[in-house]
A and B are shown apart, each in its own frame.
Chain A
Amino acid sequence: MRQFVTFRIDSYLMGIDILAVREINRFLDITPVQHVQDYIRGLINLRGQTVTVFDLGVRLGLSARILTDKSHNVILKKDAVGLLVDSIGDVTEAEETEIEPPPANVGEIEEKFIAGIVKLEDELLVILSAEKILEPKK
């Protein structure tokens, strides 16, 4: 049994293994950093520590996120990186057997980021690989 933190990017429902997540917050006072990869939105102050916030939309090959009341940061345990997402969903459980390998493509999302697909009752949950997201872009 694995648990996933779910969130939305555009209309996609996505999830990341809960074990890779440190916390979820709404520290959206992001200081932009110039001259870095386009998917890096900037830095936030997480209780005295600086956390690099990725625009998960840009990272996945979609458009840049627009900050709304529902925007959240999913802070990963590794590298002090936060992922800016449109909104946060429930924690969803799935058996290992329920996780299917990713199809050739899921919409416009780059395939390499997708670790698997879980078919929920009414929609697909795209499981993202935190590792791949953190991999530096060449």
Chain B
Amino acid sequence: MEHSPRKRRIANYLAKRRLMWVYRGIKACCMYDDNAKRYCNAMGDCTIRIRILPDVTGIVIRVRDGATHLLRQDELLVHADLDICFKNLAGAMPVLRGKKTVKEAYAEKRIVIRGDISKVMMINNIIRITLAYVLTDPNARKLYGEPGNVPRAKIINAMIVGDGK
């Protein structure tokens, strides 16, 4: 279905906000959750670009010394070690809303990946841990399993009041 440019702009804006929200979760989990921290350490020093095509909406994350940093918007256009692209918004939104896992999106071939697949698995596991903390409904438990042993309030607090960078 064709949407007007204005609707597309709004949808892109919402997707971008969702993506930033998920990033804040990733950052908080990498700070406090042991499992997420372990995956983050294992990723070494690399840049990860998560994009939604074709409008180049996305974020670039720098992983270094077991911590994540958000890079500037213009870094979207330069090289990244790991590039995870959703083919379109329809494929990305269910993942960003927590209705589908990254695995399911990949299974539906909504994603193309450039870079080391084992690192994709690590970032996938971090996103799964993050959404297990953030989402509370029974369906999310089925999708993401139980959250780790860090109090959920601590993670959500870090997401809200943290600098998000």
A and B: partners? no
- Which residues of A pack against B, CB within 8 Å? none
